[in-house]
Amino acid sequence: MEEVRIKLSKEGLLSTFLRIEKEGDRAFIPIVEEGVEKARALGFEISYHTFKAPETPPRASYRDLLDLPEGLEKHLPSSFDIIGGIAVIKLPEPLLPYKKEIGRALVDFNPNIRSAYLDMGVTGDHRIRNLEHLAGENSTRTVHVEYGVKIYVDLSKAYFSPRLATEHMRVAEMVQDGERVLDMFAGVGPFSLLIAKKRRPRVVYAVDINPHATDLLRESVKANRITNIEIITADARSLPPEIRADRVIMNLPHSARSFLPHALRHLARPSAAGEDTRENRGIIHYYEILPKDAMEPRARELEEEIRAVAADIEARVRNSRIVRQYSPSEVHAAFDVEVLLP
Ligand SMILES: C[S@@+](CC[C@H](N)C(=O)[O-])C[C@H]1O[C@@H](n2cnc3c(N)ncnc32)[C@H](O)[C@@H]1O
């Protein structure tokens, strides 16, 4: 019976809602209604049987669809990322021989998941995720919804992580009416899109060096009917000097440090004509990967690094927080830095 169940699951025919029922030496394995003809064509014996309605949902997790050799179940991750219709999972070494079955279980378990991929980490300047297709449709393009905002994503062409959603919204909520925002490493634009859609900025400059990322952002801007994002495909080190911002977002956590002088160059100063009514200050949302006990000393060091860029610049870290655990010993840290300009 177990063999039949696994085969049905692999073919995407197994119902994940009803339980297998036994009558004497016969077992009835529930399949999805639209799969009857395919199951018949595959040689399964089809009978019509009235299954008991489950009192509680019978399967709490994709794990319940798997039949792994003894001792391996404990290695199954309890969480994985869902990006639009795509599941992305990291697997420890002992589970790699069963990666396809695990992918199949992810697709079978959740009707909203149409593809499953193995996550082999993010690399390179463009921070692209290395993926291996496991099950379902082999397409890395999808639309992810964050706080009601549509984000066009292609996981094999541009960076995106659903784990930063709370951080994207936290920063968006700080944006005041009429602000100019510079998102220096925008990727497919989650910070920029949330700010433009949920707040009333004068303009959001969304910059990324990866043209695939900015193309996807263009699609999202259109789909969300946004008008106040200016998309720039460029190296954030060589932006036009006319770009002036009250708030700069620097989410390139492995190397943002070397971009600090460039960020400061674009922080706004009041014009001689006095048309800029803002105070002589700006905010930088700065991100870095750090050992978890290094937040406090790094905050002080960051203030010093900013002060060292130009005479009379003052910097104060107003808030710091852990965005997420990055590795067992490191965190993705956020620092909100207030900068007073000369
Ligand atoms: C970690 S991703 C952040 C994406 C986005 N802010 C988010 O929260 O999803 C960093 C992005 O920086 C871009 N990048 C790397 N070097 C850059 C540079 N010199 N100038 C502009 N963008 C750069 C990469 O292409 C990548 O999309």
CATH number of residue 191's parent domain? 3.40.50.150
> 190: which residues sit within 8 A by CB, 6+ positions away?
146, 149, 151, 160, 164, 165, 168
User: Are 233 and 320 in the same domain?
Assistant: yes
Residue 150 lies in a domain: no
User: Are 227 and 272 in the same domain?
Assistant: yes
Beta strands, E only, 41-170: 81-83, 86-89, 115-123, 128-136, 141-146, 149-154
Distance 323 CA to ligand 1 centre (A): 17
pLDDT of residue 274: 45
pLDDT of residue 281: 82
Q: What does the mean pLDDT of the chain come to?
A: 92
User: Are 332 and 280 in the same domain?
Assistant: yes
Give me the mean pLDDT over the 337-342 stretch.
89
Q: Is the CB of 109 under 6 A from ligand 1?
A: no
pLDDT digits (tens, 9 = 90+) for 224-236: 999 999 999 999 9
Give me the mean pLDDT over the 197-213 stretch.
98
Give how many domains the chain has, as a whole number.
3
Q: Which residues pair with 45 in a beta bridge?
A: none
Percent of the chain residues past pLDDT 90, beyond the cut: 75
Q: Is the CB of 190 under 6 A from ligand 1?
A: yes
User: Are 173 and 261 in the same domain?
Assistant: yes
Residue 153 lies in a domain: no
Residue 263 lies in a domain: yes
Q: Which of 35, 57, 79 is the last residue of a domain?
A: 57
Tokens of 261: 């002088």
**CB distance 110 to 65 below 8 Å:** no
User: Are 244 and 331 in the same domain?
Assistant: yes
Q: Please, which pLDDT band fits residue 173 given cuts at 50, 70 and 90?
A: very high
User: Are 73 and 48 in the same domain?
Assistant: no
pLDDT surpasses 70 at 68: yes
Which residue range(s) make up the domain with 166?
158-340
pLDDT surpasses 70 at 199: yes
Q: Is the CB of 286 under 6 A from ligand 1?
A: no
pLDDT of residue 55: 67
Distance 226 CA to ligand 1 centre (A): 21
Nearest CA residue ID for atom 24, ligand 1: 126
Lowest mean pLDDT among 21-30, 172-181, 205-214, 282-291: 21-30
User: Are 173 and 220 in the same domain?
Assistant: yes
Q: Is the CB of 159 under 6 A from ligand 1?
A: yes
Distance 188 CA to ligand 1 centre (A): 9
Q: Please, which pLDDT band fits residue 20 given cuts at 50, 70 and 90?
A: confident
User: Are 175 and 270 in the same domain?
Assistant: yes
Nearest CA residue ID for atom 4, ligand 1: 187
User: Are 129 and 269 in the same domain?
Assistant: no
pLDDT surpasses 80 at 250: yes
pLDDT digits (tens, 9 = 90+) for 113-142: 999 999 999 999 999 999 999 999 999 999
Residue 144 lies in a domain: no
Q: Is the CB of 207 under 6 A from ligand 1?
A: yes
**CB distance 267 to 248 below 8 Å:** yes
User: Are 15 and 83 in the same domain?
Assistant: no
Distance 80 CA to ligand 1 centre (A): 23
Looking at the CA of residue 236, tell me the nearest atom of ligand 1.
20
User: Are 42 and 63 in the same domain?
Assistant: no
User: Which of the listed residues 252, 262, 284 should we mutate to test ligand 1's pocket, taking the one with most ligand atoms within 8 A of CB?
Assistant: 252
pLDDT digits (tens, 9 = 90+) for 272-289: 444 444 457 899 999 999
pLDDT of residue 92: 96
User: Are 132 and 266 in the same domain?
Assistant: no
Distance 41 CA to ligand 1 centre (A): 49
